[in-house]
Amino acid sequence: MKTSFLIIALLFLSNVFAQPDRGDIISKKIKAITSSYWTPDSSQKIEEKKYYTYKGDDSVQYYCGKQSFTFKTILEKNDKVQRLERYTVGKMLDELHIYKYNKDGSYSIEVVAHGSGTILLSKYNKFNKCLEETFSSIETLHYEYEGSKLKSILYNEKDEKPNEVAVVEYNNHGLIEKIIGKGRQAQFQHFKYNSFGLVSEKTSTRNDENGKEEKQIIFYEYEFKQ
C-alpha cells in the first residue's frame, strides 16, 4: 500500500477525531465549536467556528470572523433529516448532504458538491458512530470499535484489502489520549480535555519526506444550548 496524501491530510491537518461526533453534539447539546491554530509559518492565526442544529448537523460556519457558509435542513415527515443544503455567502447552493436510513437505525450521508459529484459518503451506526468514510469514490477510511470505543483505523483504495493505518489509546477516564499512526510518514496525535470531557487541545506531529518533524496544535472552545 502506498502512502496516501489523503491519510496525511486527514490525520494531521484536519479536525478528524478531535471534534465531537454527532452523538456527542446531540447528547451534550453543543451549540458551537471554535477551533483555532497558527499557519505553519506562524504568520497568521486561523479561527474556524461552526454552529450546530439540535440534530447534530451544521448550521452556520465562520472563517476568521467572517461567515463562510450557511446550512438549510430539510426534514422528512417523521422529523428525520432528509437532506442538508450548504450555501455560500452569496447564497449559492454549493453542497448537498443526502441522508438515507436503514431499518436497523443505521444511516448514511452522501455529500454532493456542485460540479464535482459525490465527494464523501459516510456510514453511521444507530448510535451515530461513524463506521467508514469514502472520499470521491476512491479512498476509504474504516473505523473499528470495541463496544462504543474506537479501536483502530483502516484504509484502502477501491477494491484493495483494508490495511490498519492507526491505533487508538485511551486514558484512565476512557477518553482518547493518543492516535498512533503507522508507516513512514505516520502521524502521532495527543489529546487534552476540558471539564466536560471534550477535547480542548490536539497536538499532531509527523515527519515530512525529508525526516523533518512537523507539528500542529489546534485549540477548541465550546458553547452549549440552554
Neighbours of 78 (CB within 10 A): 7
pLDDT of res. 17: 57
> pTM of whole model > 0.85?
no
Assign domain 5-224 one CATH number from 3.30.1300, 2.60.40, 2.40.160, 3.30.70.
Answer: 2.40.160
Along the 226 residues of the chain, how does pLDDT read in single tens digits? 444 444 444 444 344 555 677 778 988 999 999 999 998 888 999 999 999 998 888 999 999 999 999 999 999 888 889 999 999 998 999 999 999 999 999 999 999 998 889 999 999 999 888 899 898 888 898 999 998 899 998 989 888 899 898 899 999 999 999 999 887 667 889 999 999 999 999 998 887 777 788 888 999 999 999 8
Q: Read out DSSP for the chain?
A: -PPPHHHHIIIIIS-TTTS--HHHHHHTTEEEEEEEEE-TTSS-EEEEEEEE-TTS-EEEEEETTEEEEEEEEEE-TTS-EEEEEEEETT--EEEEEEEEE-TTS-EEEEEEETTTEEEEEEEE-TTS-EEEEEETTTEEEEEEEETTEEEEEEEEETTSPPEEEEEEEE-TTSSEEEEEE-STT-EEEEEEE-TTS-EEEEEEEEE-TTS-EEEEEEEEEEEE--
